[in-house]
Amino acid sequence: MDLLPMNQMKRARILLLTGAQIFIPALGCAQTVPLPEPPQVRASRHVVSLTLHAVNENGRDAFAFDGASVAPVIRASPGDVLKITYINDLPPKSGETCAVNPCMNMTNLHFHGLTVSPDAPQDDVIGMIAMPGQVLHYSVEIPRDHPPGLFWYHTHPHGESHRQVLDGMSGAIVIEGMERYVSEVGRLRERVVVVRGRSIEHDPNAAELRRSVEIPAKGCGGEAEAVEEVFTVNGAVRPQIEIAPKERQFWRIVNASPDRYLDLQLDGQTFEIVALDGMPLAYHGPNHPTRTNDHLLLAPAGRLEAIVTGPPSGSHRALRTRCVDTGPDGDPNPEMVLADLVQPSSDRSGSNAPPRQMHAIDDRPPLHKPLDVERLKKTAPDFTVMFTEDKNGFYINGRKFTPDANPMTSVRVGTYQHWRIVNETAELHPFHIHQVHFLAYAENGAPLPHPAWLDTVNVPYRGSVDVILDFTDPVIKGMSVFHCHLLNHEDKGMMAKILFK
């Protein structure tokens, strides 16, 4: 016998999500959670110090910080050092499934997009590995001339990175100073939005979750398989984001899913793009500091930093992802609602929060790097990356990654190179390289309408992209990697080493 009215039962059904107990929003029901705001860790005397634990909670791997299972937002300025003690408190035996079984529960950290050293104790994903019970001590020096923007940290143990990132082991990194490039953002309310994938494959509430984010019954693209993931936003399913009509806010969104694309859209509104993949548009194009789009494809690991404007009152508007056709062999990437936009309610504490928390003000003039890469575009590629796959695994130039492999290629630090990334498979793959950014300027041989400096780029199936990589910063010297950022592909071999010499 039901003791509670139906709507209260719905509200009372809770799910444990990263960081907090959060109600599943019932369809069409206004009772839902505001966008959770994870704790932020800032520098003191130019050092950002924190201790992070790897834990398994309720059957999922997670970060724990300050006694709670939550991934803090790390905020640093150029010139700061990230001192992170990373303690592997995962159990010695895993009850989970990895791309390469059994899961060893080994772990480490990658500082995605940062132009920092790939050598230990910095952004080294090859040699730095903690087995259960072991501790890693990171000391990552952010160069004084590092561009501002949104970056992120996630675990990167070859063979089990997909499992760990799908479970939620990811968090945002903000390098301060974006107002040096677009002064308005310094006056706007900022929101750091971490979009993660969440497996619903074995979730008894899968049907309700699918309904609550409004996944259409009709499939998307050529893929007919069941939808296995929904997106969470700062750990919550379909939270509410407060924004007043015409209010301008600065949203910094990371696609922290290990394997799902976002095609972000804000109903009836546009994104005024300020930065992509942690690179201000103004950094290379001082005359075009922003660009307006009504939707934007964000590959796994990609970041969008944009000014958004509150919709008119009385209209229901959502932040959603559109259907992405990932190809005949791809996984389903259906349309779904990520968050609802709501007007600030006067009775809710926090609605009149200060526009932005205090942060280090960087009043140095902005650095710019306008480049003439036209000549490089006309030359034959210096290197070609070929993505292939078969029933036994995933390959770059016919080779599967092994931790003891020699570098597949090497480049001289101080140079630019033209690479072509070719995807011979029947599904999308996002190409990512550690330490550096590149200009993606052509797709399938045709110039892109908006060439962009990125660290992760989608490669169309049975197609290609052409990029110019910037290997000029001397801090990158050492052994690094490039790989597919569908992390189960990376785990199954689609990764290679590169020596920056």
C-beta of 425: minimal distance to Cu ion in Å?
A: 8
Query: Minimum distance between the CB of residue 200 and Cu ion, rounded to whole angstroms?
Result: 22
Q: Give the residue nearest to Cu ion (CB).
A: 484
Which H or E run includes 419?
strand 415-423
Q: Which range, of 20-28, 251-259, 374-382, 486-494, touches Cu ion by CB under 5 A?
A: 486-494
Which amino acid is residue 41, in one-letter code?
V
Could you tell me if residue 331 is left (phi over 0), alpha (psi between -120 and 50 degrees) or otherwise beta?
Answer: beta
- State which residue, 174 or 484, has the beta carbon closest to Cu ion: 484
Give the separation between CA 94 and CA 105, rounded to whole angstroms.
6
Q: How far is the CB of 289 from Cu ion (least distance, A)?
A: 33
> What is the sign, positive or negative, of the torsion defined by CA atoms of 243, 246, 250, 251?
positive
Q: What contacts 24+ positions apart, CB below 8 Å, involve 397-402?
A: 397/496, 399/493, 399/496, 400/492, 400/493, 401/158, 401/481, 401/483, 401/490, 401/493, 401/494, 401/495, 401/496, 401/497
By CB under 5 A, name the one of 489, 492, 493, 496 that touches Cu ion. Answer: 489
Size of the site for Cu ion (CB under 5 A): 4
Query: How many Å is the Cα radius of gyration of the chain?
Result: 22
Contact assessment for residue 239 and residue 137, using Cβ atoms and an 8 Å cutoff: no
User: Closest approach of Cβ 432 to Cu ion, in Å?
Assistant: 10
* Residue 497 near Cu ion by CB under 5 A: no
Residues 368-407 that bind Cu ion (CB under 5 A): none
Residue among 132 and 393 whose Cβ is closer to Cu ion: 393
Considering beta carbons, is residue 484 or 498 the nearer one to Cu ion?
484
Q: How far is the CB of 430 from Cu ion (least distance, A)?
A: 7
Closer residue to Cu ion (CB): 235 or 430: 430
Using CB under 5 A as the binding rule, the residues of this chain from 416 to 475 that contact Cu ion are 429
How many whole angstroms separate alpha carbon 496 and alpha carbon 421? 13
Specify burial of residue 347 (Cβ count, 10 A radius: 0-12, 13-18, 19+): exposed
Neighbouring-strand partners of residue 63: 54
Min dist CB 39 to Cu ion, Å, is: 33
Binding-site member from 484, 487, 495, 498 for Cu ion (CB under 5 A): 484
- Token pair of 221, please? 């693209």
In this complex, which beta carbon is closest to Cu ion, that of residue 293 or of residue 388?
A: 388
- Closest contact distance (angstroms) between CB of 388 and Cu ion is 10
Residue choice 73, 236, 298, 486 for contact with Cu ion (CB under 5 A): 486
* Alpha carbons 261 and 430: distance in angstroms, whole number: 9
Minimum CB distance to Cu ion, residue 489 (Å): 3
Nearer to Cu ion, 323 or 484 (CB): 484
Instruction: Return the number of the residue (196 or 429) whose C-beta is nearest Cu ion.
Output: 429
Compute the distance between CA of residue 81 and CA of residue 147 in angstroms, rounded to an integer: 15
Q: How far is 455 from 111, CA to CA, in rounded Å?
A: 12
Interface residues toward Cu ion, by CB under 5 A: 429, 484, 486, 489
